[in-house]
Copies of this chain bind each other. A is one copy, B any other.
């Protein structure tokens, strides 16, 4: 089977290619982009020497046609038009935000413009979601932060152990901001510095977290989300807290997480006393998770590490595609991080 990548010169595109090179069932087909069309991939992804001489084509219905899977790693608002031109038998995977939100009002509030509608949400670990992805022909890849936060907190909400008043602070590596040439993303600015951005409820991933957690909780969940930028290329560490329900014990909390993740291949609940570090998941499709009860403050504290480009984007995308194609879910996805 052949997969095309639209947006092949960017960071998400590069990670898709890295993983597809190790995938036994998906062959890499067309590589397309906008500004980079006509150049070779080696100029953009020098860590992929096997593809160095591949020429990037224009993103268009023609160049993307004839593939079994099309990954769209495009800016917001560009996916719907491309997808409309692709056959309904083609698996179209939107790594952007266009098809994540089910609520048009939330879309308008956070993104503006017309809502493209929602596609099956590519987070197989969510209750019921694995089934929904089997045979899917359109897949909305979750945002990197919502992937982390949902995995960290849904077991507490599924078990009715937390109140729906969530506070999340997350640190992300700079690749989460893409390859855009902004002064605040220069190495000189980010090295040796942690900074905040998108503070105060305005980050576009907020309604997505409220959507996933609210669906599990069966009630509206409010999320106060503060993202920060950390001096590393990859990785998200999210500290996710919610008020504990009265009488909750550490044991009951832990048991709920054990149950939620007992058979999940990609989520490790760490042993007691160990806490996640993003290095544990560097380049892997895994999540390292820990949870505890802050008894003084009466809060559930779940901390999770993922690689924003792997489990947070490209790996999660391929995991869902595996399900859509009826392949083993883990196929071609690294369980081992690169450390130190």
Is A185 located at the chain interface by the 8 A CB criterion? yes
**Interchain CB contact (< 8 A) of A187 among B18, B233, B294:** B233
Say whether, besides A183-B181, A279-B47, A280-B47, A42 and B231 are in contact (CB < 8 Å): no
What residues of chain B lie closer than 8 Å to A183, measured between beta carbons? Answer: 179, 181
Question: Across the two chains, which residue of chain B brings its CB closest to A167?
Answer: B167
Q: Whole-angstrom distance between the alpha carbons of A301 and B296 in the complex?
A: 21
Residues A195 and B47 in contact, CB atoms below 8 Å apart = no
Q: Does A66 contact B (CB under 8 A)?
A: no
Which residues on the B side are within 8 Å of A290 (C-beta)? Answer: 196, 199
Nearest chain B CB to A294's CB is how many angstroms away? 4
Interface string of A239-254 (1 = CB under 8 A from B): 1010000000000000
- A175 touching B188 in the complex, CB below 8 Å, given contacts A46-B280, A47-B282, A182-B181: yes
Q: Indicate how many identical chains form the complex.
A: 4
Q: How far is the CA of A139 from the CA of B86 in the complex (A)?
A: 54
Are B340 and A297 in contact, CB atoms less than 8 angstroms apart?
no
Nearest Cβ distance between residue A168 and chain B, in whole angstroms?
A: 8
Residues 230 to 281 of chain A near chain B (Cβ within 8 Å): 230-235, 237, 239, 241, 268, 270-271, 274-281
Q: In the complex, A208→B237 CA distance in Å?
A: 25
Q: A277 CA to B288 CA in the complex, in Å? A: 27
- Determine if A186 and B185 form an interchain contact, defined as CB atoms under 8 angstroms apart: yes
Q: Scoring A residues 158 to 181 as 1 if CB is less than 8 Å from chain B, else 0, what string do you get? A: 000000010101010111010101
| Given known contacts A169-B169, A194-B230, A231-B231, A340 and B201 CB-to-CB distance under 8 angstroms | no
Of B14, B223, B231, B295, the residue contacting A297 (CB under 8 A) is B223
Residue among A234, A292, A294, A334 with the highest chain B CB neighbour number at 10 A: A294
Report if A88 contacts B (CB, 8 A).
no
User: A303 touching B199 by the CB < 8 A rule?
Assistant: yes
A11–chain B nearest beta-carbon distance, Å: 6
Question: Distance (Å) between the CB of A25 and the closest chain B CB?
Answer: 16
Q: For the complex of A and B, list the 7 residue pairs with the smallest distance between their C-beta atoms, beginning with the closest.
A: A195-B277, A47-B337, A224-B297, A193-B279, A169-B169, A187-B190, A47-B339
11 further interface pairs, Cβ-Cβ under 8 Å (given A47-B336, A174-B191, A190-B191): A47-B338, A177-B188, A185-B187, A187-B189, A192-B278, A194-B237, A196-B237, A199-B239, A199-B301, A200-B292, A233-B339
**18 A-B contacts, Cβ less than 8 Å apart?**
A11-B188, A46-B270, A47-B339, A167-B299, A169-B226, A169-B239, A175-B188, A179-B186, A188-B340, A189-B279, A191-B192, A191-B232, A192-B235, A193-B277, A196-B303, A199-B239, A199-B275, A222-B297
